[in-house]
Amino acid sequence: MWRASVLTIFPEMFPGPLGVSLAGKALTSELWSLEAIDIRAHATDKHRTVDDTPAGGGPGMVMKPDVLAAAIDMLPHDKSDSLRPRILMSPRGTPLTQARVRKLAEGPGVVILCGRFEGVDERLIAARHLEEISLGDYVLSGGEPAAIALLDACVRLIPGVMGKENSAAEESFSAGLLEYPQYTRPPVFEGQPIPDVLTSGDHAKVAAWRQSEAERLTRERRPDLWAAYQARKDAKKGT
């Protein structure tokens, strides 16, 4: 079973959206498990303090390394758990990609630390070998929404969660391109018909149209992805 452990000062935020739809059904069916760990339970003072002022001064508060270490160290230490990546959701982290999501989904699970306030003491990050991951170039009020997004992206790739095995294979980023446009009935909507090629019954033409549209959208909307895609194509030609 794919196992997720989330360390947070707001355990009531979980499972949240992960308790419904595909992820929720898979959770009920025990295709994966979710454990929300209250960081405050590992504080040693009567106020259950998890943060303190930044060394060197400055605004806000920083999460304490001793409390976070105690929360992380209470996790099981068997072989399966030692293989689970320890992730810190952080705006300064490496951007999350579909390739990273797929690799995480293929493993035994994840341990996610949800940061709050101004961040986490750097010594804790180094000492517990945390991998910092970011959802994008923006700042959230805490790591919990980011953790939910990461988990949702992983869980849907667990075998048995999605309806069709090839559903994920044709999505955005799976081949380095954005996904082609999708259409369904009615045949005409507000004067706009479904492209004729999609109703032609010619599977080769449909595949070619979808490839062309995926390339067009990627070229127009994500020049970074398009450049990487072109580089891979050029590298294959050179081999």
Total structural domains within the chain:
2
Q: Which range has the worst mean pLDDT, 16-20, 109-113, 168-172, 230-234?
A: 168-172
Q: What pTM was computed for the model? A: 0.91
Q: Which range has the worst mean pLDDT, 6-15, 122-131, 159-168, 171-180?
A: 159-168
| Helix or strand run (H / E) with residue 38 | strand 32-38
- Separation of alpha carbons 64 and 122, rounded Å: 10
Instruction: Answer yes or no: do 130 and 209 share one domain.
Output: no
Whole-number pLDDT of residue 163: 75
Mean pLDDT across the stretch 153-180?
82
Whole-number pLDDT of residue 189: 97
Instruction: Answer yes or no: do 112 and 216 share one domain.
Output: no
Mean pLDDT across the stretch 156-181?
80
- Separation of alpha carbons 211 and 28, rounded Å: 37
Whole-number pLDDT of residue 238: 76
121: left (phi over 0), alpha (psi -120 to 50) or beta: beta
Instruction: Answer yes or no: do 149 and 178 share one domain.
Output: no
pLDDT above 70: percentage of residues in the chain: 96
Domain limits for position 123: 2-155
Instruction: Answer yes or no: do 118 and 59 share one domain.
Output: yes
